[in-house]
Amino acid sequence: MKILVTGGAGFIGGNFVQYMVDKYPHYDIYNLDILTYAGDLTKHSDIENKDNYYFIKADIAERENIISLFEKEKFDYVIHFAAESHVDRSITDPEIFVRTNILGTQVLLDAARQNNIKKFLHVSTDEVYGELDFEPSTFFTEETPLQPNSPYSASKASSDLLVRSYHETFGLPVNITRCSNNYGPYHFPEKLIPLTISRVLNNQKVPVYGAGNNIRDWLHVLDHCAAIDLVMHEGINGEVYNIGGHNERTNLEVVKTIINSLGKPEELIEFVQDRPGHDKRYAIDPTKLMQLGWKPKYNFETGITQTIQWYLDNKDWWEQIISGEYKEYFKKHYTLE
Ligand code: NAD
Ligand code: DAU
């Protein structure tokens, strides 16, 4: 079985590649990634010499290369993670989001269609549904209308619709998964949780947007990987599956949990200008996926404890990132020091 994982040098794709290489030694896992600022291969040092792991450096939006790769390799499954994934970057530079997330997905769909793959699993996000009000009994279901609010989520929603259309028009076997906010090992330190951990460990201020009362529904990345594994093998073609574990927290709660676990003062919190178009609340109803047999292993307390420990144990990894291009990006966006 040949499985193409796009974006396997990034956060979730990287965890998924490691999970699959270890769990299925009889599957060949091909990690295709262009290695943007968010991709790095050092995270795969434990698997890079395994017989069932391959790396291909390529751009999903480069049509000729992708089409000839698919003709040559005859993949069975495509698990599509590759994307521009950071909302703040989509506000300052939307164009690359259109190219990678929409055009890149369409190129992959064409390649998959021409080569009779068994399934194209498109990894999407709950952000395509827009925002919920603070009313705690409302949730995103698979029937919630798409109402994206940021250029990032608009590009993801567009790609979801393309995937759907290739199923309806060409009969391509597809699934779309829409997961809530992930956290865990190898999370790039521009996103709230790794940003907070890394800055608190360096005794730096943590920028909290607005009043910090926006709510996200946090899921450990390994629970996301297990969900994708299940949908890949058992998902009904053409169906959408929401992924989430009912772990809603305000941003302020998340930041305070991290600061308190590390024994640092809450004075490190700095309220800064809000994100434009900032979605109020995300919350997933995962009933459909649970009926397929999925159950998360982590709740927020166990997951955040494991994650904080991972960042303490892997300082080299995130310090190397912070000292590179990311530092310039951060300086452009905040003036905290
Ligand atoms: P990430 O930014 O950490 O990684 C993205 C990866 O894609 C990087 O390795 C990058 O090099 C690669 N990539 C970017 N452009 C490419 C191109 N043109 N060709 C080939 N590779 C390219 O992202 P992530 O947080 O791991 O998210 C992965 C996927 O999961 C995305 O599709 C995202 O929309 C979705 N998702 C993320 C979350 C989350 O909380 N992070 C939640 C739900 C869904
Ligand atoms: O819901 C799934 C989505 O989760 C994914 O599709 C995205 O790829 C992923 O980046 C994430 O999007 P968010 O915008 O929710 O994640 P982020 O970590 O950027 O922000 C989480 C919350 O924290 C959000 O309400 C904004 C806030 N925030 C973020 C940063 C980076 C701050 O208050 N301060 C910050 O410095």
Contacts 24+ apart (CB under 8 A), 48-56: 50/21, 50/25, 51/25, 52/21, 52/24, 52/25, 52/26, 52/27, 52/28, 53/17, 53/21, 53/29, 54/28, 54/29, 54/30, 55/8, 55/9, 55/30, 55/31, 56/30, 56/31, 56/32
Pick the catalytic residue: 33, 126, 131, 160?
Answer: 126
Q: What is the pLDDT of residues 223-263, one digit of tens each?
A: 999 999 999 999 999 999 999 999 999 999 999 999 999 99
Count Cβ neighbours within 10 Å for each residue of 298-322 and write b for 16 or more, e otherwise.
Answer: bebeebbeebbebbeeeeebbeebb
pLDDT tens for residues 115-143? 999 999 999 999 999 999 999 999 999 99
pLDDT at 206 over 60: yes
How confident is the model at residue 324, as a pLDDT? 78
C-alpha separations of 189 from 8, 110, 156, 324 in Å:
17, 34, 22, 12
Q: What CATH topology corresponds to 2-182+219-243?
A: Rossmann fold (3.40.50)
Q: Please tell me the predicted confidence (pLDDT) of residue 330.
A: 64
Ligand 1 contact via 100 beta carbon (within 6 Å): yes
157 lines ligand 2 (CB under 6 A): no
CA of 8 to the centre of ligand 1 (A): 8
Q: What is the mean pLDDT of residues 6-30?
A: 98
Quick check: CB of 223 below 6 Å from ligand 2?
no
Asked whether the beta carbons of 38 and 11 are under 8 A apart, the reply is: yes
Counting atoms of ligand 1 from 1, which one is nearest the CA of 14? 26
Per-residue pLDDT reduced to its tens digit, 314-332? 999 999 998 876 777 766 6
Note the pLDDT of residue 336.
35
Question: Does the beta carbon of 13 lie inside 6 Å of ligand 1?
Answer: yes
| CB of 104 sitting under 6 A from ligand 1 | yes
Query: Mean pLDDT lowest for which of 158-172, 176-190, 262-276, 311-325?
Result: 311-325
| C-alpha of residue 275 to centroid of ligand 2, in Å | 10
pTM, two decimal places: 0.98
pLDDT reading at 222 higher than 60: yes
Q: Measure 191 CA to ligand 2 centroid, in angstroms.
A: 6
**Percent of the chain topping pLDDT 70:** 96
Mean pLDDT computed over every residue of the chain? 96
Q: Pick the catalytic residue from 152, 186, 282, 311.
A: 152
- At 332 the pLDDT is 65
Using DSSP, state whether 244 is helix, strand or coil: coil
214 pocket-lining for ligand 2 (C-beta < 6 Å): yes
More confident residue, 337 or 29: 29
Annotated domain spans of the chain: 2-182+219-243, 186-216+247-279+300-331
pLDDT of amino acid 335: 44
Q: Which of 209, 215, 252, 273 to mutate to test the pocket of ligand 2 (most atoms within 8 A of CB)?
A: 209
| Alpha carbon distance 127, 337 (integer Å) | 31
Q: What is the mean pLDDT of residues 52-77?
A: 98
For the Cβ of 163 lying below 6 angstroms from any atom of ligand 1, the answer is no
Looking at residue 101, what DSSP letter applies?
Answer: I
The pick from 146, 191, 335 for probing ligand 2's pocket by mutation, whose C-beta has the most ligand atoms within 8 angstroms, reads: 191
Q: C-alpha distances in angstroms, 215 versus 115, 179, 261, 283, 298?
A: 42, 15, 20, 8, 19
> Is the pLDDT score of 285 beyond 50?
yes
Q: What does the pLDDT look like over 139-163, one tens digit per residue?
A: 999 999 999 999 999 999 999 999 9
Q: What is the pLDDT of residue 223?
A: 98
Q: How far away, in angstroms, is 222 Cα from ligand 1 center?
A: 15
Residue 334 in this model has a pLDDT that exceeds 60: no
Element (DSSP H or E) covering residue 281: none
**Cβ of 283 below 6 Å from ligand 2:** no
* 186-216+247-279+300-331: in CATH 3.40.47.10: no
- Give residue 333's pLDDT: 61
- Note if 127 is an active site residue: yes
